[in-house]
Structure 1
């Protein structure tokens, strides 16, 4: 055909996508939650059927509070305490992402939250990585090849971050590509975990930090200036350091915003989730478009596909409908993400040059 293909959910699923911010325990299939709960005798689920459970997760996550949003993970983590549960959730995660056209993904989870059945941290990671590998194999066999790497997350309110950082380095040649801290930001600044970040830097290892979501500029400043992170998990509140009185060309960037843009710090923006947690009031007021037009390195992400009832294709469709983005814009955001991935430079180039650019060339006609 000549000319660009229509931009809708069906064609968006054909577009090659790169995903940097997706939580394993936030992307389970509702039916899987039910089945795993039955297998492990977990009887605390708030609904007894898949449709009702999916609806409960979505509605519970729509509270406008990060703390209440995080409460929904009680149920998903509860059914991910066994080798079988971890393997299945990881495998299905990869299959679902590949089915949505994702060609590269970094999926994160907190091993310390999966020890209730006496698994060791190493065993937790091994079972999850085996599930990811099985998912990659199944996706390749279905003609939907995908590369998936894992980020190991430490909970910022706990005291195991150095231990998890060591775990990430120990498994970095086996499918783990980096480290992260997550959880409620208020009261738990990233500088509480300096020893973990120092360990990552000493070992030339990558890490991102959840910062600038529920808490503002101080969180971002600490993550960059004191912790030295490679990327900002969300980072949406960097907009607090930008003044736009009239035309965007006259926007005034504060020192922190200027530094983030100048040094090309990737922003792992999650539009739907940012609205749900109250980081932004509504999608049309999301600073994604402002940041994109100011040429920050913005990327599109899902965060938690179950809680937000979303996918990469749906997130891109919402951005198209809200801000009018076309295929060229979506290609730029995808390449932004791939440039920022925690895998070796030649692998990033291969996916950009051999998969992403040819895929968008077809969509652009």
Structure 2
């Protein structure tokens, strides 16, 4: 286990103790390997490995191809075991407990209900099952002395045509655990313009929106997300870097119009370094756009994306940036506070989270670094 250095860079123990905010984490991408084994056995679903360690390795290796399409194929095994109310509730409960154990104090769990109907569930039943699991997980975490708040982010699959149906589901459950709407799946070729009325409908019903954009596709995807989709946040958004010309080694940059728009409006970027390396967005943590974008005052947040496929956690993501990109405790508090202010909850709730939970938690760790 590492310790901290004199430059204010925390070690693993300090990072693990930090309060964390997670805006981009897929429910079907964060299962425990042992849970996948047990649920697959009960459902007679064949898996590529027969023990938890080997299965965990398989998920990571399969997701490490550099292709988003290949990465997404790994979800066939996780969604296959999430087709009953009991299984959905178990997965959601365990996700909450795992996040709380990692120091996460606020999280949004995104998932696509339309992918969990093969066992006969209706869309609403699936949402209610996940909410039951979240509620149980929060209560169990509290019994362990850990505070966490979790909301559901309902996603529609880009390549399907159930966007409006899922949007209506988000409206129905807006005050019953659902905090927002997303579109996910193959980004290239399935842009927000595919179903334009959805975005007006969501805006008219005051449902916050985040859109996967700027991961597998480029600036056109981001532009449509913020202008047509009226996205409050961008899922990934890393390729906004393509609209920035770095003209000197000292970091001087010339922003294009879209980059200015995203920065001027402080639209949070839900960046996921480990996942982005797997899908070919960057070659290393050191060259990942997250650091340059943060230096340029974009609203940068740090996320896990899929904890199973990337074998990651918020502690791991933070540690990678400290070790590989020279981040300090100040950098970590910046992205955490930015994430809290970008959370899909009300302003006063964001303020309380920052002032009563996040800043005191960081100050406690900072005191240990002195």
Tell me which interval the TM-score lies in, with the shorter structure as reference length: over 0.9
Q: CA contact under 8 A between 1:103 and 1:147: conserved in structure 2?
A: yes
Are 2:266 and 1:264 aligned?
Answer: yes
* Structure 1 segment 1-365 matched on structure 2, within 5 A: 7-42=10-45, 44-248=46-250, 250-365=252-367
Q: CA contact under 8 A between 2:23 and 2:108: conserved in structure 1?
A: yes
Counterparts in 2 of 1:130 and 1:283: CA distance versus 1, 3 Å: same
Q: Which runs of 4+ in 1 moved over 4 A?
A: 3-6
Distance in 2 between residues matched to 1:4 and 1:83, nearest whole Å: 49
1:46-83 C-alpha deviation (Å, 9 max, x unpaired): 00000000000000000000000000000000000011
Distance in 2 between residues matched to 1:193 and 1:9, nearest whole Å: 45
Distance in 2 between residues matched to 1:241 and 1:77, nearest whole Å: 36
SS in 1 for 2:156: strand
What is the CA RMSD across the aligned residues, in angstroms?
1.2
Distance in 2 between residues matched to 1:6 and 1:182, nearest whole Å: 35
Q: CA contact under 8 A between 2:105 and 2:147: conserved in structure 1?
A: yes
Distance in 1 between residues matched to 2:160 and 2:366, nearest whole Å: 48
Q: Shift in Å at residue 262 of structure 1?
A: 0.7
Q: CA contact under 8 A between 2:22 and 2:106: conserved in structure 1?
A: yes
Q: Shift in Å at residue 4 of structure 1?
A: 9.0
Gaps of 5+ in 1: none
Counterparts in 2 of 1:5 and 1:134: CA distance versus 1, 3 Å: farther
Q: Shift in Å at residue 279 of structure 1?
A: 1.7
1:270-318 C-alpha deviation (Å, 9 max, x unpaired): 0000010112222221011100100100000000000000000000000
Aligned length: 362
Q: Shift in Å at residue 328 of structure 1?
A: 1.3
1:215-240 C-alpha deviation (Å, 9 max, x unpaired): 00000001111121110000000000
Distance in 2 between residues matched to 1:33 and 1:193, nearest whole Å: 34
Distance in 1 between residues matched to 2:174 and 2:224, nearest whole Å: 25
Q: CA contact under 8 A between 1:236 and 1:267: conserved in structure 2?
A: yes
Gaps of 5+ in 2: 1-5
Q: Shift in Å at residue 363 of structure 1?
A: 1.1
Distance in 2 between residues matched to 1:318 and 1:174, nearest whole Å: 36
Q: CA contact under 8 A between 1:4 and 1:363: conserved in structure 2?
A: no
Counterparts in 2 of 1:63 and 1:8: CA distance versus 1, 3 Å: same
Distance in 2 between residues matched to 1:11 and 1:250, nearest whole Å: 33
Distance in 2 between residues matched to 1:334 and 1:140, nearest whole Å: 22
Q: CA contact under 8 A between 1:234 and 1:268: conserved in structure 2?
A: yes
SS in 2 for 1:107: strand
Worse overlay, 322-331 or 23-32: 322-331
Q: Shift in Å at residue 158 of structure 1?
A: 0.1
Distance in 2 between residues matched to 1:163 and 1:18, nearest whole Å: 29
1:191-246 C-alpha deviation (Å, 9 max, x unpaired): 11222211110111101000000100000001111121110000000000001121
SS in 1 for 2:283: coil
SS in 1 for 2:38: helix
Q: Shift in Å at residue 8 of structure 1?
A: 1.8
Counterparts in 2 of 1:161 and 1:281: CA distance versus 1, 3 Å: same
Q: Shift in Å at residue 5 of structure 1?
A: 7.8
